Amino acid sequence: MESSDTSIGRATLLIVVSALSFGSISVLTVLTTSAGVPLLTTMAWRYVLGAVLLGAVIHIRRISSIPRQRIIQLLLIGGIGQALITYLSLHALEYIPVGPLAFLFYTYPAWVALLAAVRRTEKLTPVRVLALMLALTGVTIMIGAPTERLNPIGVTLALASALLYSAYLPALAHVQENIPALLSTFLLIVGAAISFVIAALFAGELFVPRGTAVWSNIFMLSLVSTVIAFASLIRGLSVLGPVRTAIIATVEPFFTAMLGALVLANQFGMATLIGGILIAAAVLVIEWSSAQAIATA
């Protein structure tokens, strides 16, 4: 794992880019499904086109140099882990509103930190606890903690998706180790594409959408929210590890709120701004602690 100040700064930037890219998923998906394209169809084309785009710029033959076990693991992480996280989150929306769902899902940095502490793979230092508290407080202020009585099924599904994602990050960090980031990304996307194509086929929803606007949104989902998002995540994750990555990635809901205000005319209030400032402070604390660790090493 790289340890220079420059590499950590670059990795932090990559995780921010990844979070911003993932943050566009909600808006682009809403635009696509509002045009009459089912969610499974949208996701199937998102990952299929993403695999095609990435496959066109990498040397696919280099995959033969990756151990077969690692290839299978990456395909399974993409095909099962990613698909299951998406399914649990979407299914939870049948029982609870999107606000409480987002609040419950973004508890995952805490679960990542606790899991790493239990497994003794990363220390839960006071500085990391401070950054974690800043990030979670920022998300809470931005999204708003649930005040009404929530359906326990929806809460269970939302927390299950958060817990699954907290296991997904360290598993991905381990499996993609010493494998070129773009090759890992390609295998991850292919695995997800296979799962969503099969799911769309079984649901009778796999078809070719029509309309330039629809395909523009699907293309952006594939390029920005998939290829750029996963490639940046994997590269940054390999340097920072799951805990720092999870805390920095909490910038995602702030960007989603900004994009929603610009594209969907959603409200962007003071709570969102204050939450964003606290999340930015958490990122700065993580960056500062990393720089201090290097300086004293």
Residue type, 103: F
Distance CA 128, CA 176 (A): 24
The predicted pLDDT at position 263 comes to 67
Distances (CA, A) of 276 to 128, 131, 177, 203: 18, 13, 32, 39
Q: Token digits for 189?
A: 């996307």
Q: Are 84 and 168 a contacting pair, CB within 8 Å?
A: no
Q: Token digits for 78?
A: 């993409």
Distance CA 266, CA 258 (A): 9
Number of domains forming the structure of the chain: 1
pLDDT digits (tens, 9 = 90+) for 78-105: 999 888 887 787 778 778 766 677 777 8
pLDDT digits (tens, 9 = 90+) for 16-31: 899 888 888 877 887 8
The predicted pLDDT at position 99 comes to 66
The predicted pLDDT at position 208 comes to 93
Q: Token digits for 12?
A: 């932090």
Give the residue numbers spanning the domain of 264: 5-296
Distance CA 106, CA 142 (A): 11
Report helix, strand and coil shares of the chain as percent, to nearest 5: 80, 0, 20
Distance CA 295, CA 286 (A): 14
What is the residue whose two structure tokens read 């606290």? 278
Instruction: Show the low-confidence residues of the chain (pLDDT under 50).
Output: 1-3
Distance CA 38, CA 60 (A): 31
Closest CA to 23 of 188, 263, 195, 240: 263
